[in-house]
Amino acid sequence: MSGPRAARESPYVLAAEAGREYWWCACGLSRSQPLCDGSHRGSGVTPVSFTASADGDLWLCGCKRTAAKPFCDGSHNLA
């Protein structure tokens, strides 16, 4: 795999819990989008970890082209 595959062309909403660590799927192969399920193994793409700073909804990138990994920056609108 030479790069990530778009899981979808819109962001995912994650109901985050403050202090909890999450692993965002950067490869697009996970069946548990937008979170990693280990499907990246052997792809050369690794997941991105982050810890939620507060309870609430986070908009995570689905197209995998964001410059603000793991958060949506609207890159899907440029495709």
Q: Kindly list the domain boundaries of the chain, sorted by start residue.
A: 1-72
* 79 residues of the chain, pLDDT tens digit each: 678 999 999 999 999 999 999 999 999 999 999 999 999 999 899 999 999 999 999 999 999 999 999 999 999 998 6
Q: To 10 degrees, the CA torsion angle through 59, 65, 69, 72?
A: -20
Nearest to 73 by CA among 4, 11, 8, 14: 11
- The closest alpha carbon to 69, from 58, 77, 56, belongs to 58
Q: What is the pLDDT of residue 19?
A: 98
By the 8 A CB rule, do 73 and 67 touch?
yes
pLDDT score of 35:
98
Rounded CA-CA distance 18/23 in Å is: 14
